[in-house]
């Protein structure tokens, strides 16, 4: 009888969608193997990795020969195919549709807007040795503010998590994006008690898998702080 191989995931934990997937895997105890792909070393552009994902991006998942990209699709696939608590991706159509509603919105709102702050404040200056472009940074912060207003007034209106009373994979995708600017020492939730309360609820719900996934980001923040 053919033996089923463990789920393999290709991750760099400095990547927001990789952390969301990492937390889901650890919290729901899906047996898996992590293959590290260091983006800073260009390991996503090697011939082998490019064969796996021609888009040269992480995360990637392989389940017994089935290769899948896109964090959102991977997390939903795992929730559909593995014995994970139902709250992550509820089966009831209306509740599931709420998760799909957020994840569709996420990729053109929370994701690009939070990522841009990190890119402008940390990645670009590190890669090019140039100063932070304050004009572009302020524009990015203002777009992120609009997104956070919507998270508070639409998704978190009268409910503790983005899609209802319990945590779903939508909360993982969102929280990992909103944590990213912390790599540059910026807590974008600093003046937002409603979102802070939500982040604390997410942290309590996932336990130590939150800090394990974010250890690389915290280390980046601490290294940069020590240089100041």
Ligand X SMILES: N[C@@H](CCC(=O)N[C@@H](CS)C(=O)NCC(=O)O)C(=O)O
Residue linked to tokens 């569709």: 104
Can residue 15 be called a binding residue for ligand X (CB under 6 A)? yes
- 131: Cα separation from own chain's centroid: 27
The one among 13, 16, 19, 163 contacting ligand X by CB under 6 A: 16
How far from 221 is each of 17, 62, 75, CA to CA, in Å?
19, 31, 27
110's CB contacts (< 8 A; 6+ apart) are: 147, 151, 173, 174, 177, 178
- Least Å distance between CB 16 and ligand X? 6
Q: Closer to ligand X at the Cβ: 57 or 113?
A: 57
Strand (E) or helix (H) holding 34: strand 32-36
Two tokens at 55? 């888009």
Task: Give least dist CB 14 to ligand X, A.
Answer: 8
C-beta closer to ligand X: residue 115 or 167: 115
For position 17 contacting ligand X by CB under 6 A, the verdict is yes
Entry field: residues in the chain: 228
* Contact map string, positions 61 to 90, toward ligand X, x by CB under 6 A: ---------xxx------------------
52 binds ligand X (CB under 6 A): no
Nearer to ligand X, 192 or 220 (CB): 220
Q: Which of 108, 80, 83 is nearest to 96 (CA)?
A: 80
Name the minimum Å distance from CB 39 to ligand X: 5
44 contributes a contact to ligand X by CB under 6 A: yes
Query: Is residue 164 a contact partner of residue 157, using CB atoms and an 8 Å limit?
Result: no
**Residues found near ligand X in the complex (CB under 6 A):** 15-17, 39, 44, 56-59, 70-72
């Amino acid at each position: 009888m053919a033996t089923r191989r463990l789920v393999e995931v290709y991750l760099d934990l400095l990547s927001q969608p990789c952390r969301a997937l990492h937390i889901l895997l650890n919290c729901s105890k899906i047996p898996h193997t992590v293959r590290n792909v260091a983006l800073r070393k260009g390991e996503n552009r090697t011939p082998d990795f490019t064969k796996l994902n021609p888009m040269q991006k992480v995360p990637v998942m392989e389940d017994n020969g089935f290769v899948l990209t896109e964090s959102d699709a991977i997390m939903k696939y795992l929730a559909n195919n593995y014995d994970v608590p139902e709250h992550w991706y509820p089966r009831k159509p209306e509740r599931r549709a709420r998760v799909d509603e957020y994840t569709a919105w996420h990729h053109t709102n929370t994701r690009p807007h939070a990522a841009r702050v990190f890119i402008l404040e940390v990645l670009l200056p590190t890669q090019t040795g140039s100063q932070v472009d304050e004009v572009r940074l302020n524009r990015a912060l203002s777009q992120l503010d609009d997104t956070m207003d919507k998270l508070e007034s639409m998704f978190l209106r009268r409910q503790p998590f983005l899609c209802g009373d319990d945590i779903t994979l939508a909360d993982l995708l969102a929280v990992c994006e909103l944590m990213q600017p912390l790599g540059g020492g910026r807590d974008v939730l600093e003046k937002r008690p409603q979102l802070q309360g939500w982040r604390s609820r997410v942290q309590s719900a996932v336990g130590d898998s939150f800090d394990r996934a974010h250890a690389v980001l915290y280390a980046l923040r601490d290294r940069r702080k020590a240089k100041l």
